Structure 1
Amino acid sequence: MKSVVVFCGSSEGLEREYTAQAYALGRFLAKQHIRLVYGGAKIGVMGKIAQGALDVGGTVIGVIPEFLKKKEVFHDSLSRLIVTQNMHERKLKMHELSDAIIMLPGGYGTLEEFFEMLTWSQLGLHQYPIGILNTNGFYDELLAMLRKMVGKGFVAQESYTMVMEDTDIEKLIDKMENYRPLPLPKWINKEQL
C-alpha cells in the first residue's frame, strides 16, 4: 500500500478514543511512508488523522468539495488540498489517489463513502484492500448487519470477506497488506469494466 483513503467523521464523537486512535493511525501511516488521502477538514476525527500524519512529516492530501470548504473548516497545512465541484467528484478523486480504503468512526457521509467504494470492489471496478478500524467496537452492529445480509442471501460470503476489520491499527494494516483480491464475480467479465 502506498496511499490510503480514510473515510471518517468531521465530528469528534463522544468518546476521546475516536480522535486518539485517528491521530495514532495518521502517525502510523506516515511512519510507514503511506500517503494519507482524506476529506480535507481540520476538525473532528478528520482533523486528528491529518494532524497525526503531519506531525511526523507524512504526506497528506485533502479532497473537499467547494461547498464544504468553509463549513468543515479546511486544513491549511496539508501537503496538497484539492477542491472539487461536488461530492461525486470528491469520491472519484479520492479513489484515483489511493490504493487502499480505511473507515474510522463517522456518520452518514462516512458510511456512504465507504459503501460506495465497497460496492465498486464487489462489482470489480477496483481490487483495493478495504478495512474498518473498529475503535471501541463502534462498528460492531454494522458488522452484525453485514453478516445478517449474508445469512439472508443478499450479500455473498465472498463479498463479506472483502472487508477486513480490527480494533488494532498494526493488525489491521497487516491484514490489508496481505490482502489477496478474489476473482471477479461470475456475472461480470473484464470486457464489461
Structure 2
Amino acid sequence: MKELTKICVFCGSSDGNDTAIVEAAEKTGKLFAEKKITLVYGAAKIGIMGVLAKTTLDNKGQVIGIIPEFLKKKEVVHLGLTKLHTTKNMHERKLKMHELSDGFIALPGGMGTLEELFEIMTWLQLGLHQKPIGLLNVNGFYNDLLKLLETMVRKGFLSMDNYELLLVDTTIENLLEKMHNFKAPDIPHWLNKDRT
C-alpha cells in the first residue's frame, strides 16, 4: 500500500456548466486538506482548477502549483499558493508534476486534462513510474471515454492489463481508497536496463 502524501490533479481551467463537477472539486479539496494530502496542480486561479485550489487552501490544506512562464504572464496564476514552481514549457511542467507527486487524479476537464492523463498513463504502461492514476467520473462525464478505451481493448490496440491500470470511481473517497491499494505491475523486462 502506497502512502499518498502528494497527489497531482488534472482538471479544467473552465468552470463548465455542471454544478456536480464544481461540487466534486470542492469535495476533493476538503478531503485532501482533511487527510493532509498536498495538492499538486497547474497553478491556475480560474475554472475547476481554481475551485479545487481555493477549497483546499480554505480548509488549511497545502497546495503546490506548477505553471509554465507563458501562462504565468497571462495572469491566470494563483498567487496565494503554499508553493509555486515556474517552468520553461508545458513538458517541463509535467515532468515537475511527476517528480513531486505520489499519484495522479483526473477530474473533468478539456483537451489539456486528457493530454496530461494519457501521457502519465503511457508512462505507467511503459514502466517509467509505478504511481496510481485515478479517474473521477463525475455525473457520467467520462462514460464515453471509458467506452472508447473498451473499444481499444476489443479491437486489439489496448491490453486489458493496461486498461485496468486506470482506477475509476464516481466518488473521491472510493477513488483514494483504490489508489491507496494500487499495486503497480512489474516493469517489462525489456525496459529494465534501458529506462531513463
Identify the TM-score tier after normalising by the shorter chain.
over 0.9
Q: Does 1:110 align with 2:118?
A: no
The equivalent residue for 1:189 is 191
Residues 184/72 of structure 1: CA separation in 2 closer, same or farther (3 Å cut):
farther
Deviation at 1:85, TM superposition (A): 0.7
Q: Does 1:34 align with 2:46?
A: no
Moved over 6 A (4+): none
Q: Does 1:73 align with 2:76?
A: yes
Distance (whole Å) between structure 2 residues aligned to residue 126 and residue 116 of structure 1: 12
Equivalent pairs, count = 192
Q: Which runs of 5+ in 1 are unaligned?
A: none
Distance (whole Å) between structure 1 residues aligned to residue 36 and residue 24 of structure 2: 18
RMSD (CA atoms): 1.0
Distance (whole Å) between structure 2 residues aligned to residue 144 and residue 183 of structure 1: 26
Q: Does 1:17 align with 2:20?
A: yes
Q: TM-score, normalised by structure 2?
A: 0.95
Q: TM-score, normalised by structure 1?
A: 0.96
Distance (whole Å) between structure 2 residues aligned to residue 190 and residue 72 of structure 1: 43
The equivalent residue for 1:153 is 156
Deviation at 1:185, TM superposition (A): 3.1
- Report percent identity of matched pairs: 54
Cα displacement string for residues 18-39 of structure 1 (whole angstroms, at most 9, x for unaligned residues): 1111111011011111111000
Question: What code does the residue aligned with 1:159 have?
Answer: N
Deviation at 1:189, TM superposition (A): 3.3
Matches within 5 A, 1:90-101: 90-101=93-104
Distance (whole Å) between structure 2 residues aligned to residue 10 and residue 72 of structure 1: 13
